[in-house]
Amino acid sequence: MLRSSRLKTSRGTELLDELANILPNLYNFNKDNDLEFASTILLLNRYWDNLKERTDNNSELRSEFIRILHKMAIVYGEVNIPVACGARVIACDVESSCLNDEEAQLVHCITGIHIDRATSIVQAKSTEA
């Protein structure tokens, strides 16, 4: 039993792989794509913050929100890569925030960096105008 649990991949590792899969897209974004990616992240992150405040961190609600974000990433994956990547980042952020393994903590740190970067991009754009 112990041996089989060691062979099982942790959810944190799976989330880390999900993030790694979108990195090539992020490095190829132009300014418009970067802004769309950043705007998507901020919008979805604010929505989640407002939602979780009203529901006392309900795990069913969190799971449903993550499922919706994964569906959004799939649907937009063919037509709007920046939006799909933004949805994937927030899904990984929300899910990793309730996991305890080291990889999940790393994912949460990485998604936090993307959220901070998104804030900087949008703020820079708003001061530009």
pLDDT at residue 5, as a whole number = 46
pLDDT at residue 59, as a whole number = 85
Domain ranges of the chain: 28-124
Percent of the chain whose predicted confidence (pLDDT) is above 90: 76
Q: 92: how many CB neighbours lie within 10 A of its CB? A: 26
pLDDT tens per residue, range 65-88:
999 999 999 999 999 999 999 999
> What are the CA-CA distances from residue 105 to residues 90, 93, 123, 127 (Å)?
14, 10, 27, 33
Contact (Cβ atoms closer than 8 angstroms) between residue 121 and residue 58: no
Mean pLDDT of the chain: 90
pLDDT at residue 55, as a whole number = 74
Is pTM beyond 0.85 here? yes
DSSP 3-state of 70: helix
